[in-house]
Amino acid sequence: MNTQPKTVTTLDPYDLYDVRSLLSDEERMVQDTVARFTDERVLPVIGECFDQGRFPHELVPEIANLGLLGPTLPTEYGGAGMNAVSYGLICQELERGDSGIRSFVSVQSSLCMYPIYAYGSAEQKREWLPDMAQGKVIGCFGLTEPHGGSDPANMKTHAKKDGGDWVINGAKMWITNGNLARIAIVWAQTEDGIQGFIVPTDTPGFTAQEIQRKFSLRASVTSALFLDNVRVPDSARLPNVRGLKGPLGCLTQARYGITWGPIGAAIACMRDAVEYAKTRILFDRPIAATQAVQLKLADMARRITQAQLMSLQLGRLKDAGRMQPTQVSLAKWNNVRMAIDIAREARDILGGAGITTEYSPIRHMLNLESVITYEGTETVHQLVVGREVTGINAF
Ligand SMILES: Cc1cc2nc3c(=O)[nH]c(=O)nc-3n(C[C@H](O)[C@H](O)[C@H](O)COP(=O)(O)OP(=O)(O)OC[C@H]3O[C@@H](n4cnc5c(N)ncnc54)[C@H](O)[C@@H]3O)c2cc1C
């Protein structure tokens, strides 16, 4: 007699709480569209791109056609007027493909188009945003400097007024899209505090050097920028913001999207682990039938569910105009940590097969080492939450 209980599953293992039912029809449509793009266009090529250390540039026009560049900006600037939850879902589905693709979209949308939209003049918005939405102009965001990214107030790059122009000197490090970009949003110290400049990358004195030998985000371009007496007119300065709140405002936008992205990476890893565990027969049974493996898979489902609920609530707060940077820190910390742990567990469940890019976990695991560091390291976000809880700044 077979004493094994019949296996019954009625829930979606990758959405155990049916979080999708909390989305509007439009949000679901956005998710489905990007999911299809990831399945059909990203997944078939991404393993090879990662192996070769190549950003799949050929996908940019399609990404633009789908309205994924600056999707929350108004249509008059080429955006799609989407809400924050839709933007989050875009990040989630793209990162289910690869963190590098999501990083490209995050940088273009939240770190380059957003500051031009939020802090730029009417002329700057008209000049750059529609072309950026169409992917004709790619941007990069230069905040981090070689001597330490966690303390951006200690910025050495400076801009000096010279007649009607500004002359910028300094260096930026770890800049996503650096060698792809036609414009760089460069943050520099001035006599009036930190200010942002839109610097065309063909300006004399500007150089971008691609960073080689990366083991993480290999399907993304990361560069060092050098500014040697780079001269730009005053019309290149973002007129409507001064001080660190300029770049930090952009980072809050990007970090919000990053809370969603790793959910996609985690789902991809869990899916590979579940499929593999069901078919890998050891000791006469699939490893999925062992309690040890089920515990690991159940824990993945638990943590993905927590992250889904967290990001959705964060998105609803953002759409209501009530999202606070500390809340973003909590979700970035939680969700990236969740995804990196799941990627490592999934890699382990795959055994030796898990060490090649034939399966997604090791690629996601390596990518997430960047995601946990950039846009505020895990420690920085923990300290932000700690400061909120205690009222004491421990930086
Ligand atoms: C792939 C990639 C892409 C990136 N893209 C961009 C980009 O497009 N634009 C951009 O401007 N930047 C970008 N960055 C830079 C990124 O934001 C920085 O790497 C990050 O802010 C950390 O800075 P750092 O690397 O200089 O490390 P550091 O700031 O030198 O930190 C080193 C260590 O010290 C810890 N630490 C820092 N402060 C404290 C403290 N008070 N107490 C305890 N521990 C502390 C950190 O958590 C970390 O573990 C990118 C980075 C990577 C890896």
pLDDT in tens, 285-321: 999 999 999 999 999 999 999 999 999 999 999 999 9
Residue 2 pLDDT exceeds 80: no
* 139 CB near ligand 1 (under 6 Å): no
- pLDDT (0 to 100) of residue 249: 96
- pLDDT (0 to 100) of residue 6: 62
Enumerate the β-bridge partners of residue 18.
none
Closest ligand 1 atom to 149 CA = 23
Exposed, middle or buried by CB within 10 Å (0-12, 13-18, 19+), for 16? middle
Confidence of residue 178 (pLDDT cuts 50, 70, 90): very high
Q: Please give the distance, rounded to the nearest whole angstrom, from the Cα atom of residue 24 to the centre of ligand 1.
A: 36
Structure tokens at 254: 């990007």
Please compute the mean of the pLDDT values over residues 151-158 and round it to a whole number.
Answer: 97
- pLDDT (0 to 100) of residue 395: 95
Confidence of residue 20 (pLDDT cuts 50, 70, 90): very high
Closest ligand 1 atom to 375 CA = 17
Core vs surface per residue 351-370: b (16+ CB within 10 A) or e: eeebeebebbbbbbbbbbbb
Distance between CA atoms of 120 and 132, rounded to whole angstroms?
14
Residue located via tokens 């606070």: 324
CB 287 within 8 A of CB 303: no
- pLDDT (0 to 100) of residue 7: 64
Distance between CA atoms of 78 and 69, rounded to whole angstroms?
9
Please compute the mean of the pLDDT values over residues 34-53 and round it to a whole number.
Answer: 98
Q: Report CA 63 to chain centroid distance, whole Å.
A: 15
DSSP H or E run through 245 = helix 245-279
Distance between CA atoms of 56 and 7, rounded to whole angstroms?
41
CB 91 within 8 A of CB 106: yes
Q: Please give the distance, rounded to the nearest whole angstrom, from the Cα atom of residue 150 to the centre of ligand 1.
A: 5
Distance between CA atoms of 223 and 25, rounded to whole angstroms?
39
Residue 374 pLDDT exceeds 70: yes
Distance between CA atoms of 345 and 300, rounded to whole angstroms?
9
Structure tokens at 208: 């971008």
Residue 1 pLDDT exceeds 90: no
Task: Round the average pLDDT of the chain to a whole number and report it.
Answer: 97
Distance between CA atoms of 167 and 161, rounded to whole angstroms?
6
Which whole-number Å values give the CA distances from 316 to 79, 125, 194, 256, 310, in the listed order? Answer: 20, 27, 31, 11, 10
Confidence of residue 3 (pLDDT cuts 50, 70, 90): low
Task: State the Cα angle at 65 between 272 and 60, rounded to 5°.
Answer: 60
Distance between CA atoms of 118 and 338, rounded to whole angstroms?
32
DSSP-derived letter for residue 6 is P
Sign of CA dihedral 31, 49, 109, 245: positive
Q: Please give the distance, rounded to the nearest whole angstrom, from the Cα atom of residue 122 to the centre of ligand 1.
A: 33
Closest ligand 1 atom to 247 CA = 11
* 367 CB near ligand 1 (under 6 Å): no
Residue 5 pLDDT exceeds 60: no
Which candidate, 247, 319, 357, 338, places its Cα nearest to that of 24? Answer: 319
* 250 CB near ligand 1 (under 6 Å): no
Confidence of residue 263 (pLDDT cuts 50, 70, 90): very high
Residue 200: phi, psi to the nearest 5? -60, 135
Q: Please give the distance, rounded to the nearest whole angstrom, from the Cα atom of residue 373 to the centre of ligand 1.
A: 6
* 146 CB near ligand 1 (under 6 Å): no
* 196 CB near ligand 1 (under 6 Å): no
pLDDT per position as a tens digit, 73-131: 999 999 999 999 999 999 999 999 999 999 999 999 999 999 999 999 999 999 999 99
Share of the chain above pLDDT 70, in %: 98
Pocket test for ligand 1, best of 337, 374, 375, 383 (most atoms within 8 A of CB): 374
Residue 4 pLDDT exceeds 70: no
* 215 CB near ligand 1 (under 6 Å): no
Ligand 1 atom 37: residue of nearest CA:
150
Structure tokens at 30: 């956005």
Sign of CA dihedral 54, 133, 150, 321: negative
Q: Report CA 150 to chain centroid distance, whole Å.
A: 17
Distance between CA atoms of 341 and 343, rounded to whole angstroms?
5
Residues known to be catalytic: 375
Residue 343 pLDDT exceeds 70: yes
Q: Taking the model in full, what pTM does it have?
A: 0.97
CB 318 within 8 A of CB 88: no
Please compute the mean of the pLDDT values over residues 131-151 and round it to a whole number.
Answer: 97
Structure tokens at 277: 């565990």
Confidence of residue 164 (pLDDT cuts 50, 70, 90): very high
* 217 CB near ligand 1 (under 6 Å): yes
- pLDDT (0 to 100) of residue 33: 98
Confidence of residue 36 (pLDDT cuts 50, 70, 90): very high
